[in-house]
Amino acid sequence: MTSHRVTYPLQAFIHEWWSASPWWIAVRAGVFLAISFPPVDLPFMLLLGWLDLQVLLFSSDHRIAQKRRLLIFSAILLWNLLTTYWLMMATLGGGLAAIVANAGLMTLALFVARAVVKVAERSTSEQGWQRVGCWIRPVIWIPLWLGFEFGHHQWDLAWPWLTLANAWSTWPWAIQWVEYTGYVGASAWFLIVAAWGYEVWVRPALDAQYHGKEYNRVQGTWEWTSRILPGVALVGVPLGLSLWIDMNRSVEWEALAKGPTQDVLIIQPNRDSYESFGGYDSVGELIDSTAAFTSQAVMERASDSEGPSDPVILWPENTLDGALTLNSYEALRMRSYAMQWQAHVLTGVGWIEYDEALEDQRHPALLRRAPSNRTYDVYNAAWHIRPNREDSITTYKKANLVPAVERFPFADELVRLPFVDRLPWTSFLGFGRGNQATVFELMESQKVAPVICYDSVFSDWMREYVAGGAQWIAVLTNDGWWGRTSGHTQHYDFARLRAIETRRPIVRAANSGTSGWIDPLGDRQLMSDYGVVSSHWVKIPTQTMDNTFFVERGNLLGLFVSVLSGLWLTVGFFIHILSAHRRRQV
């Protein structure tokens, strides 16, 4: 490496900042990315974090090149660890394994992107790359990363918690345009800003230091403007557009809020998530205890001159802890309570469904059989219990199951391998998976989307509910596994993106917290205290905004980056093969 004296102040600052120890750059990147997420709420720190990652990914500094893989993995691992450390609250080994595995997948995605960039660089002349490399590099790696994020929502190991868009969930005023782009647009935004910062400011200064290239000193007003203005536009235009949308949507929401409303009672029972039946001796005792607290809240509200009419009561995920059938004593007990309160009750339940059709739908090794030889499955589910004896209980089966915790990944594929079908699959398979976004219909054609826990971080799934007519979204969750960590706060805040994407109110009933509700602008209207028993009456407007572009058209940007990623991977692969063939011929 040729040593050059740093002459210009800007070059001197950039050189000093990014010529630090590679390990310091890696640590710094992990910390910057972590504090951009809730509960720290500094999403603009994504810029500094991704500038550091680009230096680690593309710098030719021999100190970085010698241990590039380890440096980037360490940075990504630190980001995962600081942001999702609470996974280890449930099981230390399982949580740590999940964090390391996700960091490994993220690192792999970055190195695949780097490999494609390098193929493009090697297939271009040195002078040509100097001219267009600053454009080609981000055009390749940004879609590949976004394609990874989109794909990470789609498979059996889905873990979209660290999707970059989630960092902006606490600044909803800045990303109101996700009603058009979906979360992919919010993820792309600051990646593009970070790419501009790296290609325009950081890389030229580092090239001057490490390669002896002439640093293009910025001179004159026009040159300063031409370099700074694109960055200002990349940040300012989306912010301005978001504020304009926010202003117009606020006026619309204020008008809707003055119309008809639905009374909703949110119950936060704060049961021990690690004890069977929440610490009670039976499901019946658990139901009666929760019902007694609910009755108290209903009676207190009934004494009000503005008492509720046809209320909806939300009980969290796992409130009916067990494996119940629709004809069980506990189901009949819930019907009696619903009639007593004259309310529609939505509750989380462990549900056994006997279904002979499973014989034709499942591999024999995955079938559960009762002593009577009837086939059945067990679901993490939601029940809609109406306040009368005539209507049957409506059910929803949770579709997005937490990998390994709720369902063994790729079971349907693995069981088809030789000898694997001999394993006792039903002993470790986990819950059955639902495949339909069932909308619960309340009184007067009012429709609500029952969403269970992990479902709420999947944009496309929430979109299906709203496309199916849901007027508001009920999230039934149990975040008590994580204790007083940032996990339950993140889970609440990430739902704010879903509110903006769909323009629907979101009401959350959480076992230990955080319960509350979010308006269609993504603003918090209620947040309960964590770790306490509480009940909250809220009024949810039943008149809705029109379906958003995202709801009507789907995740077009996600599909686009997936297709573009596939294109880059295919072209990169064939160019690499052709280049290798030519080298062998020589």
Kindly report, residue by residue over 63-104, the tens digit of the pLDDT: 999 999 999 999 999 999 999 999 998 888 889 999 999 999
Average pLDDT over residues 137-144: 97
Q: How far apart are CA 127 and CA 213, in angstroms?
A: 13
Average pLDDT over residues 503-525: 96
**How many Cα neighbours within 13 Å face the side chain of 546?**
5
Average pLDDT over residues 125-132: 88
Query: Which residue, 55, 29, 61, 56, is CA-closest to 209?
Result: 61
Q: How far apart are CA 95 and CA 404, in angstroms?
A: 11
Query: Which residue, 58, 61, 104, is CA-closest to 79?
Result: 104
Query: Which residue, 314, 316, 332, is CA-closest to 324?
Result: 332
Whether the pLDDT of residue 238 is over 50: the answer is yes
340 and 445 inside one domain: yes
For residue range 328-348, list pLDDT tens digits in order: 999 999 999 999 999 999 999
407 and 428 inside one domain: yes
Is residue 586 a part of any domain in this protein? no
163 and 298 inside one domain: no
Beta-bridged to residue 407, according to DSSP, are: 403, 430
Is residue 113 a part of any domain in this protein? yes
Q: How far apart are CA 37 and CA 164, in angstroms?
A: 9
For residue range 268-305, list pLDDT tens digits in order: 999 988 888 888 989 999 999 999 999 999 998 887 75
pLDDT at 2: 45
Write down the mean pLDDT value for the chain. 91
For residue 210, give its domain range. 9-253
265 and 305 inside one domain: yes
Using a cut of 0.85, tell me whether the model's pTM lies above it: yes
- Using pLDDT thresholds of 50, 70 and 90, give the confidence band for residue 561: very high
270 and 228 inside one domain: no
- Choosing from 253, 268, 287, the residue where a domain stops is 253
429 and 331 inside one domain: yes
Type of residue found at 565 = S
- Choosing from 220, 253, 286, the residue where a domain stops is 253
Helices (H) and strands (E) in the chain, counts: 20, 14
174 and 199 inside one domain: yes
248 and 294 inside one domain: no
Q: How far apart are CA 359 and CA 361, in angstroms?
A: 6
Whether the pLDDT of residue 15 is over 90: the answer is no
Q: What is the CATH number of the domain that holds 370?
A: 3.60.110.10
Average pLDDT over residues 573-578: 89
- Measured CA to CA in angstroms, residue 538 lies from 78, 258, 348, 452 at distances of 40, 14, 20, 20
Is residue 574 a part of any domain in this protein? no
Q: Is the peptide bond before 39 cis (omega within 30 degrees of 0)?
A: yes
For residue range 437-484, list pLDDT tens digits in order: 999 999 877 999 999 999 999 999 999 999 999 999 999 999 988 889
Is residue 308 a part of any domain in this protein? yes
Is residue 410 a part of any domain in this protein? yes
pLDDT at 3: 44
pLDDT at 210: 55
- Using pLDDT thresholds of 50, 70 and 90, give the confidence band for residue 511: very high
Number of compact structural domains in the chain: 2
pLDDT at 5: 46
Type of residue found at 517 = W
- Using pLDDT thresholds of 50, 70 and 90, give the confidence band for residue 217: low
Q: Are 539 and 271 in contact (CB under 8 A)?
A: no
Rounded to 10 degrees, the C-alpha dihedral 394/398/399/401 comes to -170
Q: Are 440 and 434 in contact (CB under 8 A)?
A: no
Q: Is the peptide bond before 514 cis (omega within 30 degrees of 0)?
A: yes
270 and 243 inside one domain: no
Query: Which residue, 295, 434, 412, is CA-closest to 351?
Result: 434
Q: How far apart are CA 261 and CA 541, in angstroms?
A: 4
Whether the pLDDT of residue 4 is over 50: the answer is no
Write out the E strands in 182-330: 261-268, 312-314, 320-324
236 and 323 inside one domain: no
pLDDT at 388: 87
For residue 513, the 8-state DSSP code is: S
Q: How far apart are CA 70 and CA 26, in angstroms?
A: 9
Containing 347, the helix (H) or strand (E) segment is strand 344-354
168 and 265 inside one domain: no
For residue range 347-406, list pLDDT tens digits in order: 999 999 998 888 888 888 898 999 888 999 999 999 999 998 778 899 999 999 999 899
Q: How far apart are CA 586 and CA 575, in angstroms?
A: 17
Q: What angle do CA 365, 368, 370 make, to 5 degrees?
A: 140
pLDDT at 1: 42
Is residue 497 a part of any domain in this protein? yes
